[in-house]
């Protein structure tokens, strides 16, 4: 995932629905800087299955300039889903939600396949934390 901020080489996060156990993404990039949040997925041609982007802080998102659809999951500070959009098309905007602190962008269809619903809890987990592992996409 070019252009995304990874916490450091060797650290890989996943996102799982805490209510159903369904894995939403095995590999989650983090856009935590102003620059990374502004660019987001704009430089990508697609978001591969199993990958996602956590944008924080963020209260809403847009898909202006994007070339593909995404699923959008907005979370509060407890990790509960306060808003979700399945198959958000390019050139759309999702207005901010008051309790939203971050947004998880996922490949289109992830919400439907996982059975994820409003009010579910999303859990981020470290799936690999090895400072000696070189990850060519974690630069």
Model pLDDT for residues 60-107, shown as the tens digit of each residue: 898 998 999 999 999 999 999 999 999 999 999 998 888 999 999 999
Q: Which of 33, 13, 44 is nearest to 107 (CA)?
A: 44
CATH class, domain 11-122, is: mainly beta
In contact, 139 and 113? CB cutoff 8 Å: no
| Domains in the chain: boundaries | 11-122
Return the percentage of the chain with pLDDT > 90, whole number.
57
pLDDT of 11 reads 67
Task: For residue 50, count other CB atoms closer than 10 A to its CB.
Answer: 15
């Amino acid at each position: 995932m070019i252009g995304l901020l990874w916490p450091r080489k060797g650290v890989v996060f996943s996102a799982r629905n805490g209510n159903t156990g369904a894995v939403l993404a095995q590999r989650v990039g983090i856009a935590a800087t102003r620059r990374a949040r502004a660019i987001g997925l704009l430089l990508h041609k697609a978001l591969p299955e199993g990958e996602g982007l956590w944008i924080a802080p963020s209260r809403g998102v847009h898909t202006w300039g994007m070339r593909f659809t995404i699923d959008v999951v907005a979370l509060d500070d407890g990790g509960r889903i306060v808003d979700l959009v399945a198959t958000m098309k390019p050139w759309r905007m999702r207005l901010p939600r008051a309790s939203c602190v971050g947004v998880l962008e996922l490949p289109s269809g992830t919400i439907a396949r996982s059975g994820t619903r409003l009010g579910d809890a999303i859990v981020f987990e470290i799936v690999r934390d090895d400072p000696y592992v070189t990850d060519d996409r974690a630069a």
